[in-house]
Structure 1
């Protein structure tokens, strides 16, 4: 069996990302990761691409952080494959125990993220992984939360980036996106 190149894997994943015009409102072209996640081959390729990138760029990572909710879909697989911890950042009121929180702006309003205070130990090296970088609000909030509990943000990694929204400019850490629209 021949080895599939990273470029071919990425092309295959990209071909499975759904596009929904005028969702959630008129004039928006919604790019949906679920199409790739329902295809077993695309899911494996996506995992491979993310793991390979993290191993090459951030080999010292100790914790993968996933954002509510699409970030949860593949981050546990990444952490397991990398042999590191995983912790979620959730929307307000979804985590038990003592939490830290930060309010952030979305494309369509505002929300609050929370992180369990003991989920990341001071000095632990973190990579934040999410499906999408749009305006940058959720990734910036995630970085703030990780730092509030003493973690070190090495990088944010996203599957898709909507470059026209300039979300990258708001972020205070290195960012890598697999696919740019």
Structure 2
């Protein structure tokens, strides 16, 4: 069995969470499995070992886990993008749409320097709202997103297509059809 197949079988599906009709793809079951976590990290390392980037941005909250591991591995800084009200100090904000509502992301105003090349990591890509929110924050600080990476893509929700249509590079490990 391939690493990707191993990863996919370790991701738990929880029906009707956080709302009726949503099939939540829970990566915590993947992350708690030592081999699953190692395979996931190895696939991302293989992808990014020759890519030029300066910092890793992880989106709250599961993006923090992989983002921190990759930042450590590549000897890069790690920058958290957080939900509204979670960061101390001066921040910039960006509201975005979710598949089941709206929310706001924040980033410290001094987190990214002008021209820095940024690798963005999260656990899952659905409609692309969170991804676009994070990218807009980085671009407000004049950073350049080199790629947006996730473990799980939900292609039926078109997030990857929307990001690519807007000119962004996207890397995903596994896909799940349906919502």
TM class, shorter-chain normalised?
over 0.9
For 2:152 and 2:22, the matched residues in 1 are separated by: 15
Matched, 1:179 2:171: no
**RMSD (Å) for aligned C-alpha atoms:** 1.2
Q: Unpaired segments of 5 or more residues in structure 1?
A: 1-6
Which of 126, 135, 139 is the aligned partner of 2:131?
A: 139
Contact 2:115–2:144 (CA<8 Å) still a contact in 1? yes
For 2:133 and 2:87, the matched residues in 1 are separated by: 16
Q: How many residues end up aligned between the 2 structures?
A: 173
For 1:114 and 1:28, the matched residues in 2 are separated by: 26
Q: What TM-score, normalized to structure 2?
A: 0.92
Deviation at 1:25, TM superposition (A): 2.7
Matched, 1:61 2:56: no
Moved segments of 4+, more than 3 Å: none
User: Where does residue 78 of structure 2 map in the other structure?
Assistant: 86
For 2:20 and 2:105, the matched residues in 1 are separated by: 27
For 1:96 and 1:23, the matched residues in 2 are separated by: 30
Q: Unpaired segments of 5 or more residues in structure 2?
A: none
Deviation at 1:55, TM superposition (A): 1.8
Contact 2:19–2:100 (CA<8 Å) still a contact in 1? no
Q: Find the residue that maps to 2:49 and give its secondary structure.
A: helix
